[in-house]
């Protein structure tokens, strides 16, 4: 990749390259321990609050998938970095009005968790043939309905709704581990939800789980997509 004029030369002094290498190493170790191949895992680097320049550095280091959780910020970065051909994952809570805009630049929406958001992806009279996005149904692994995600019991209904839109290619399920529970236990529940999903949507085998602090546990429980921020980017700047 050296010499590609779109990519900056990476300044190694800030530690980004070392942190990325360390996370990649830890992902490989966890995959090996679980008897899995690291090739079946997609690393999504969550770059929220960080400037576009950091995303450009990550691309220079071979990162292909990035995650964002706020529409305006994501939209601006995706536009500024359109030349890089990155895969953009939207991982934040959505409202239906924003959802229509998110699908213009996001390749993957990981936070489908409400009827109104799913319905926003359906064709309309003014947009009869919208861009198709990949989607994950977000599952709430806590008892608190205020946290993002559908309750496990409601996942089948949501999956059927997603399939009916015709404009979302369902990839699987996504979740964040609760703060007050051993993550591996929570991810085991997600894995059980995933197998219910694949019984009605056989292609939707992906599991997005695992962040900076719990990606090894997620890999042990079958995660295919890891959403890792601070362990790679360093601490996030304050929310702008």
Ligand X SMILES: *Cc1c(COP(=O)(O)O)cnc(C)c1O
**Residue 133's beta-bridge partner residues?**
168
If you ran DSSP here, which 8-state letter would residue 153 be given?
G
Task: State how far the Cα of 72 lies from the Cα of 95, in Å rounded to an integer.
Answer: 13
Q: Does 199 bind ligand X (CB under 6 A)?
A: no
Place of tokens 């993002």: 148
Cα 121 to Cα 95, 139, 177: the distances in Å are: 11, 19, 27
Place of tokens 């559908």: 150
Closest CB to ligand X among residues 149, 222: 149
Task: State how far the Cα of 226 lies from the Cα of 24, in Å rounded to an integer.
Answer: 11
Closest CB to ligand X among residues 104, 236: 236
Closest CB to ligand X among residues 72, 230: 230
**Residue 226's beta-bridge partner residues?**
43
Least separation in angstroms between residue 176's CB and ligand X is 6
Least separation in angstroms between residue 227's CB and ligand X is 4
Closest CB to ligand X among residues 28, 212: 212
14 alpha-carbon distance from chain centroid: 25
Q: Does 211 bind ligand X (CB under 6 A)?
A: yes
Residue nearest to ligand X (CB): 229
3-state secondary structure of 187: helix
Closest CB to ligand X among residues 30, 130: 30
Least separation in angstroms between residue 238's CB and ligand X is 14
- Candidates 47, 57, 69, 75: give the one binding ligand X (CB under 6 A): 69
157-186 positions binding ligand X, by CB under 6 A = 176
How far is it between the farthest Cα atoms of the chain?
53
Q: Does 137 bind ligand X (CB under 6 A)?
A: no
Place of tokens 């070392």: 18
Q: Does 228 bind ligand X (CB under 6 A)?
A: yes
Q: Which two tokens stand for residue 191?
A: 């894995």
82 alpha-carbon distance from chain centroid: 19
72-131 positions binding ligand X, by CB under 6 A = 91
Q: Does 229 bind ligand X (CB under 6 A)?
A: yes
Q: Does 218 bind ligand X (CB under 6 A)?
A: no
Taking CB under 6 A as the binding criterion, the range among 13-21, 35-43, 160-168, 226-234 that sits at the site for ligand X is 226-234
Q: Does 22 bind ligand X (CB under 6 A)?
A: no
Task: State how far the Cα of 102 lies from the Cα of 34, in Å rounded to an integer.
Answer: 35
Residues within the interface to ligand X (CB under 6 A): 46, 48, 69, 91, 176, 211-212, 227-231
């Amino acid at each position: 990749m050296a010499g590609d004029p779109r990519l900056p030369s990476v300044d190694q002094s800030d530690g980004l390259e070392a942190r990325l290498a360390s996370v990649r190493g830890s992902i490989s170790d966890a995959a090996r321990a679980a008897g899995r191949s690291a090739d079946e895992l997609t690393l999504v680097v969550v770059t929220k609050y960080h400037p576009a320049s950091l995303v450009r550095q990550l691309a220079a280091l071979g990162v292909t998938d990035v995650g964002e959780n706020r529409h305006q910020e994501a939209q601006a970065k995706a536009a500024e970095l359109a030349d890089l051909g990155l895969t953009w994952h939207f991982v934040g809570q959505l409202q239906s009005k924003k959802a229509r805009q998110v699908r213009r630049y996001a390749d993957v929406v990981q936070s489908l968790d409400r009827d109104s958001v799913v319905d926003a992806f359906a064709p309309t009279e003014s947009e009869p043939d919208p861009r198709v996005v990949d989607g994950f149904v977000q599952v709430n692994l806590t008892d608190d309905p205020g946290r993002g995600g559908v309750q496990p019991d409601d996942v089948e209904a949501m999956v059927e709704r997603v399939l009916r839109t015709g404009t979302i290619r369902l990839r699987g399920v996504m979740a964040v581990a609760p703060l007050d529970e051993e993550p591996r236990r929570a991810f085991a529940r997600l894995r059980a939800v995933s197998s219910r999903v694949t019984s009605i949507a056989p292609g939707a085998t992906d599991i997005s789980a695992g962040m900076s602090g719990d990606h090894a546990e997620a890999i042990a429980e079958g995660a295919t997509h890891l959403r890792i921020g601070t362990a790679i980017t360093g601490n996030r700047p304050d929310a702008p």
